[in-house]
């Protein structure tokens, strides 16, 4: 049985992965551009995607687009 869609989960990162991801996201925060400047960044993003694929069921739901739209709207609302 799949966990409910609103069940929180954790993703573990090693110290090197966390540092590289921090730098990548910090550049985005500053420049508002997502640019890979080192292959290690692509590796960390790939690992993160794999972890999300193992936890999420929504991408396989026929209503994926609708679920994504609702999630985006909720997150936008939380920033206002």
Q: What is the DSSP string of 33-51?
A: -----SHHHHHHHHHHHHH
* Within-domain flag for 39: yes
Quick: pLDDT tens for 17-61. Answer: 999 999 999 999 999 889 999 999 999 999 999 999 998 999 999
Could you tell me where the beta strands, DSSP code E, fall in 1-80? Answer: none
* Within-domain flag for 7: no
* Within-domain flag for 40: yes
What residue has token string 């910090």? 26
Tokens of 74: 């909720």
Q: What is the reported pLDDT for 1?
A: 44
* Within-domain flag for 74: yes
Structural domain that includes position 47: 15-79
**Total domains present in the chain:** 1
* Within-domain flag for 67: yes
* Within-domain flag for 26: yes
Quick: pLDDT tens for 66-77. Answer: 999 999 999 998
Contact 35, 27 (CB under 8 A): yes
CA angle 73, 76, 78 (to 5 degrees): 110
User: pTM, whole model, 2 decimals?
Assistant: 0.78
* Within-domain flag for 9: no
What gap in Å lies between CA 50 and CA 44, rounded to an integer?
10
């Amino acid at each position: 049985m799949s966990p409910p869609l609103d069940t929180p989960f954790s993703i573990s990162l090693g110290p090197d992965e966390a540092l590289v991801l921090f730098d990548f996201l910090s550049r985005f925060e500053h420049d508002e551009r997502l640019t890979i400047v080192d292959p290690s960044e692509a590796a960390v993003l790939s690992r993160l995607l794999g972890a999300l694929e193992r936890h999420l069921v929504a991408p396989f739901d026929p209503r994926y687009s609708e679920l994504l739209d609702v999630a985006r709207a909720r997150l936008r609302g939380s920033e206002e």
